[in-house]
Structure 1
């Protein structure tokens, strides 16, 4: 059912969404799914759920998912105030680490995966009648997964469950494909005119200084209203705060930062109206883009930047990079200036550059770490995210890395079914790595009869999950006392309760900190991050067990440690090594004790370039870090085979007898895949061959003992045999190795990497040919290289008919005197070809 209702008259009610209230009620009478498109200012996040509380047809609870914590709290506070009720009674909110709800709460605003956890704990969502997904266009992981699970519930357990998906824009959002039966309603937004200007940065290296100048000029030019500045992150906000504090009068201006890890009190200050007689300058990340009305804002200064987190599946680390925002994001930001009255927006880039910005942001699911999401999926009972009704397919590489890590930690079995350990980890509600550490710590605490070890694990997990920490260097032990204070203290208590640690003894957090030894800290972190055990190399650099490199600040207290466990690091675009933020020094003796399970003992064979021979040794390794090695005198041929394959992988196919015949076969098959894809052609490109050495080459290496013997292998035949006999025949028919000339000569066709088929032949043998040969069922024209009698190039053409009619005349005039004994006819297209001189040609006739 598709009722495309668009409200265009803003005079109908005070907010555009009011005109859709009745159509919404009507839609839900006959349909359980509704998609609502309502731009900024329509009232969808506030006026709509406020009105729904009075709908007689809704007797159960309403859940509304907000993708950001600050918005969830702000929306709940606003609606509760409008209802005249105490927050936490009829209207409440629940975010990670903070909630205001009661048994009487009818409208609950939730975020940060809270909805997903509620669904997992109660798949029927008992007592909940409607689930609203707000700002779904922001495409956070938790929103995508929450919607998928809600749709699963509706399709299986709760046909009566109402789902409302709301977005500021449906552009590029495949909601209608995911929910084809949903009713579609559209509303106009309510916003005032915003005047746009562009002020591109003259020097990108000093864009913050430029932004400070633009903010001060804007405040001088526009004497009314407060200003909202968008920046990519907390670091830039703090630096700009310092710049502006030195230039603005504190008696007339108040500067308020706004980002996700701020305390609730500081966030409320940024959102509240400016004090009487003062103007407010809010320095915000993209948390202020939507679902949040900041009182008094009439000016927006947009840096045009965001900080994007992109997961690197090779290292298991999330890389932060500074990126340009999309056009959709820029429109959302500018719209904040027109929420209450006409406003102004200055963009710190050119109008021409604006046209080159992406239309919309990428969803998180295509570039984020999917570990927690995959554990949620396993707990739900699926073996792949593709089994869920997802808005966008996830990154296959990132998902596979996550499944592999869960399997390594024993949270799923070989069939991707969740284990008992995985269920226990999911119940803890934290990152699976940290959950694994907490569960192993409890086991160790039982074995050692040391309650402090398990409590220490809870404190470390809280330290790592904390959204705000002081700066005391990379040594994580310096933050333990800080973690047992404030908001994180309650999270520690929650884990202590869930793990039932009280059964092990009396719990005192300060005692656990006091008894914390460096070895225990390192051991626990190694449980969570075995791939981030690090060995020193160079002055300040370290090699991680996963093979990547990181570095510590030279003046850090941990600098100089031989071994580390790195708990928090970030890779930054443009830097070859990640930066360590939190770590612990590691005693190497732990590899012979509590961390012995992380050590692999292997037999390794390699090639010594200096001595020109293979060598073999027994190695003990942690990931890719070598601990010890011992020479093996008699080298097993199995090890030599592995060493040969490793050398080929490292140095390429040049190590084998990979000649021009092999390359021509590669090019022929690549063209066959391009022009005749209906056949199952194998992948013979270099990357594919290197990735499948075990299949096509390894079986023929049993008797190879040296690189010289490797060169004697007939690689062309091995590659040809990758094509079944029928495909070999098909390839010869479509793209033959040679072309029969009328003179009886078989001329080789060269297929190059640019997709060209080249036939080089003496011009006299091409006489009488009306057109260039055509291959691949008429889809590929052969390029002909016409040669002189001395086999030197004369012309290159893929249109032989045109050559005979034009350029040939010039060739004939130049060559006739140089090669008078050879045939240069006036009508080449209708002359009998020959491979002899004129005398021999005519005598044979």
Structure 2
């Protein structure tokens, strides 16, 4: 190690911690040198006999780290330092430090949980919180706890809070490197971008300003390849002659990626337009200026729709600081930000962990193969239950899980470096599926080429045009996948039939009356452009969607015949007999349907449907239509509610309670009712009376009677309609009443309306004795003058009631 780096001061403490505790968390800022110095220091200290495996989140970073360490040792990559990434390995018998991408470690652990031959595992750039890093650490830690207490574990991070990670690793020692970054001057916009200004144009303007006002190489951060292309186009003709523009993104050929990292000769200034691939791990030499577009692209998974989509979001403060730090690695630098200083306070502190927002199908498969639940492993962020349940449901549909346990097919899927969907397709369809699997794992090689998958497959075969670089990558990947595909005789399948194997939940049936809208077997809606060549096809397989949870837009699809569907999924196509309430027809429909998931392949009338099934569907109609009250039923329910107010053992006949228990009290009485009109004419009273047993009916009639008997023996109907039970009669019928009538366990007083001889209300009272003793005298004076032929006694409490006028003299 011929030159000093900031991390060197922390290495003795790290080595000592590993000797004493066997584990450590290392905090070091970007540019401190931890990626290339720590493995070499551990090797030089002789801490372990086995290989040192270091995880990197990206292939470019893994290659670059291995090359740099090999160069430090004066060796070639593959001697003492090597790397393994997907599709490429440069290791040899003398390799002691092996840099791998994160998925490689998971495969190593699943095939050998004891990690025989490995003495240490280093998790670099753990602050990025990738799904594979979280899973790899969880599995490695359990392997150490259960099988390998001598296994050294190091977690390295630039911005992550080390405390929770250290606590998760049984209070691991925390080592901190202060770093020696050069000062970086930050410059913000004076005012927020106006809505009508395109971000790519504003970014190009900011880059031109940075080149004019500074010196040294420039690193500009953009969210994706598309934005890089558009900014490069906006810069065309505006760059000084000594500026070399270089893109840097994951899909770029490795030789061009390396060219963007290495310094240029002479006085040529480098301008690198990069995605977040350049935030960490990589050191892009000669960079003194960062221009930050303020956006990052992340995958977001919606468990409700079972689909992921890429979303462009604002960077977090931690990401912005990471990017800013790239300008201060070799000398004083500058950072230009495409946002105002005031807008910075609204940024989130940290980006979300991938486990919180990603498709968890791979994670669910790995956990099933490992034989553990998430709660049994050391996850810094536990996987969300909804997304994990969705992933397990998909694995069960693919045959990878049975009864929640891994199957042989699931283990075979886990051995493939593919998403479980594509792995399932490759295992079931053989080598013929390799081009389609490669295509679905890459970006679309045809721009504005409609959604038809078969056009892309023809381009891969050389029978059509497309983006040459993308097609070349797809062809190379297809060759690799053919080698991984099982041997044997497989039936010839169309592209649609193979895609249906991978996406059984995205087989889609066209909606009636709309050529471009579909319903998928998983129950969600999907739509394609009206002018798409597949629009109007009765059935398709939607292989790629934008992930909109309401109605996803179809990006890649293939036309599927019903014969192909039946050939692939005969065991999943069933006949269902069902009665359901139709809001449109306002009646119960009894149908027999042949279904594949949510798709209805055939629909016919269900003759002889059982009455209980019709009644159950009619109850759903009642939930839509509401209760049908007759006057008698409403009075009965009101009486019962008075009883229930004083006795909670009495049935609750309130509207809310009745609607909540329709299946219990109403369905047995709905025979013959199957339409809104029939329900309108239905009398609920018998069903309501049936809710009370004999004793309860007797108590109801006794304590909350339907009638009140006057002193003359005449029965007056009690009106229970407005919540206050009421009766009415001529005043003379109440003469002699000295105790006000009440009903119910709570002794609710009746509202008594006393009528004049002309049947007009002259007094409303809930206290007849009080009325006799009070305002009756004044009322008597008025009434005697108006109705002299009727009895108006001075002492009504002691007078006999009557319904007659005074006899004639």
Specify which of 533, 546, 550 is matched with residue 522 of structure 2.
Answer: 546
Structure 1 CA distance for aligned equivalents of residues 588 and 557 of structure 2: 38
Matched, 1:402 2:391: yes
Structure 2 CA distance for aligned equivalents of residues 610 and 581 of structure 1: 33
Specify which of 411, 415, 428 is matched with residue 416 of structure 2.
Answer: 428
Structure 2 CA distance for aligned equivalents of residues 81 and 656 of structure 1: 86
Aligned to 2:428: 440
Specify which of 542, 552, 570 is matched with residue 566 of structure 1.
Answer: 542
CA contact 1:27–1:183 (8 Å) conserved in 2: yes
Aligned to 2:111: 121
Aligned to 2:68: 78
Matched, 1:203 2:204: no
Aligned to 2:454: 477
Equivalences for 1:78-97 in 2 at 5 Å? Answer: 78-97=68-87
Aligned to 1:455: 431
Aligned to 1:284: 274
TM-score by length of 2: 0.74
Specify which of 497, 519, 544 is matched with residue 523 of structure 1.
Answer: 497
Aligned to 1:581: 555
Aligned to 1:220: 212
- Secondary structure of the structure 2 residue equivalent to 1:391: coil
User: Against the structure 1 CA distance between its residues 104 and 215, is the aligned structure 2 distance closer, same or farther, given a 3 Å change threshold?
Assistant: same
CA contact 2:25–2:162 (8 Å) conserved in 1: no
Which one is further off, 623-632 or 600-609? Answer: 600-609
Aligned to 1:619: 593
User: Against the structure 1 CA distance between its residues 204 and 610, is the aligned structure 2 distance closer, same or farther, given a 3 Å change threshold?
Assistant: closer
User: Against the structure 1 CA distance between its residues 355 and 646, is the aligned structure 2 distance closer, same or farther, given a 3 Å change threshold?
Assistant: farther
Specify which of 222, 231, 238 is matched with residue 222 of structure 2.
Answer: 231
Offset, 1:108: 1.0
Which one is further off, 630-639 or 456-465? Answer: 630-639
User: Against the structure 1 CA distance between its residues 304 and 637, is the aligned structure 2 distance closer, same or farther, given a 3 Å change threshold?
Assistant: farther
CA contact 1:229–1:301 (8 Å) conserved in 2: yes
CA contact 2:515–2:537 (8 Å) conserved in 1: no
Matched, 1:38 2:28: yes
- Secondary structure of the structure 1 residue equivalent to 2:252: coil
Equivalences for 1:210-609 in 2 at 5 Å? Answer: 210-222=202-214, 224-249=215-240, 251-382=241-372, 384-414=373-403, 416-441=404-429, 454-466=430-442, 469-471=445-447, 472-480=449-457, 486-489=472-475, 491-501=477-487, 503-504=488-489, 520-537=494-511, 538-571=514-547, 577-609=551-583
Structure 2 CA distance for aligned equivalents of residues 33 and 220 of structure 1: 48
User: Against the structure 1 CA distance between its residues 114 and 612, is the aligned structure 2 distance closer, same or farther, given a 3 Å change threshold?
Assistant: same
Structure 1 CA distance for aligned equivalents of residues 451 and 49 of structure 2: 53
Offset, 1:293: 0.8
* 5+ long unaligned stretches in structure 2: 462-470, 638-655, 690-769, 776-809
Offset, 1:265: 1.5
Q: How many residues align?
A: 651
User: Against the structure 1 CA distance between its residues 713 and 22, is the aligned structure 2 distance closer, same or farther, given a 3 Å change threshold?
Assistant: farther
1:81-133 Cα deviation digits (max 9, x unpaired): 22111112221111222222222221111114111111111111111101000
CA contact 1:201–1:210 (8 Å) conserved in 2: no
CA contact 1:201–1:207 (8 Å) conserved in 2: no
Question: Radius of gyration: which is bigger?
Answer: 2
Which one is further off, 275-284 or 549-558? Answer: 549-558
- Secondary structure of the structure 2 residue equivalent to 1:703: helix
Structure 2 CA distance for aligned equivalents of residues 122 and 490 of structure 1: 29
Which one is further off, 278-287 or 369-378? Answer: 278-287
User: Against the structure 1 CA distance between its residues 468 and 120, is the aligned structure 2 distance closer, same or farther, given a 3 Å change threshold?
Assistant: farther
CA contact 1:300–1:346 (8 Å) conserved in 2: yes
Structure 1 CA distance for aligned equivalents of residues 621 and 52 of structure 2: 62
Structure 2 CA distance for aligned equivalents of residues 618 and 406 of structure 1: 29
Offset, 1:550: 2.8
CA contact 1:309–1:319 (8 Å) conserved in 2: yes
- Secondary structure of the structure 2 residue equivalent to 1:80: helix
- Secondary structure of the structure 2 residue equivalent to 1:594: helix
- Secondary structure of the structure 2 residue equivalent to 1:109: strand
Aligned to 2:716: none
Structure 1 CA distance for aligned equivalents of residues 687 and 231 of structure 2: 62
Structure 2 CA distance for aligned equivalents of residues 372 and 61 of structure 1: 27
Offset, 1:52: 2.5
Offset, 1:140: 0.5
Aligned to 1:630: 604
User: Against the structure 1 CA distance between its residues 656 and 428, is the aligned structure 2 distance closer, same or farther, given a 3 Å change threshold?
Assistant: farther
Matched, 1:52 2:42: yes
Structure 1 CA distance for aligned equivalents of residues 133 and 510 of structure 2: 41
1:736-792 Cα deviation digits (max 9, x unpaired): xxxxxxxxxxxxxxxxxxxxxxxxxxxxxxxxxxxxxxxxxxxxxxxxxxxxxxxxx
Structure 2 CA distance for aligned equivalents of residues 13 and 218 of structure 1: 31
CA contact 2:316–2:350 (8 Å) conserved in 1: yes
* 5+ long unaligned stretches in structure 1: 1-11, 442-453, 506-515, 663-685, 718-834, 841-845
CA contact 2:427–2:486 (8 Å) conserved in 1: no
TM-score by length of 1: 0.71
Tell me the C-alpha RMSD between the 2 structures: 3.5
- Secondary structure of the structure 2 residue equivalent to 1:54: helix
